[in-house]
Structure 1
């Protein structure tokens, strides 16, 4: 029973590690808070394109957005906080 429990914990730990690195390499140039555009501006921009934003956070200097695109597909996208331009993810 202990062996089964240890194997289960190990498998769950590996699965969590895969999720943490799911988005590949992405980073934006460091920008002081005063130079960043407000997140509300990004949300409004995306909503005007038909997106639904569920969560927005900072990740490696970029705005990371979780939600649904204009076709209703789930999306995780990254945006430069100074320009709000979408940032490509490197595999």
Structure 2
């Protein structure tokens, strides 16, 4: 019974972690990615203020920041071409 409960808990945790995980942006080699400084400048030129910039486990550039209107955003970018892979506002 304890094993069954442990397996259930593990399966539940695994599913919930997958549900909150970000997107998979690319499988391209990192030498084909836009440099971080270039990507940060591209994002700023689009009118965003970056509070936090990071590389995710899904091979995305992710920012937390604000858009032109001052609204909070969380955006995942494909690091190869700079396209938006996922965006969350508010």
TM-score in same-fold range (> 0.5): yes
The 3 A distance-change label for structure 1 pair 27 and 72 is same
Segments of structure 1 that go 5 or more residues without pairing to the other structure are: 1-16
Residue pair 1:67, 1:74 contacting (<8 A) in 2 also: yes
TM-score (norm 1): 0.66
TM-score (norm 2): 0.67
Q: Give the Cα separation in 1 of the matches to 2:63 and 2:23.
A: 13
Say what the alpha-carbon RMSD is for the aligned residues: 2.2
Segments of structure 2 that go 5 or more residues without pairing to the other structure are: 1-15
Runs of 4+ in 1 over 2 A off after TM superposition: none
**Matched pairs, number:** 70
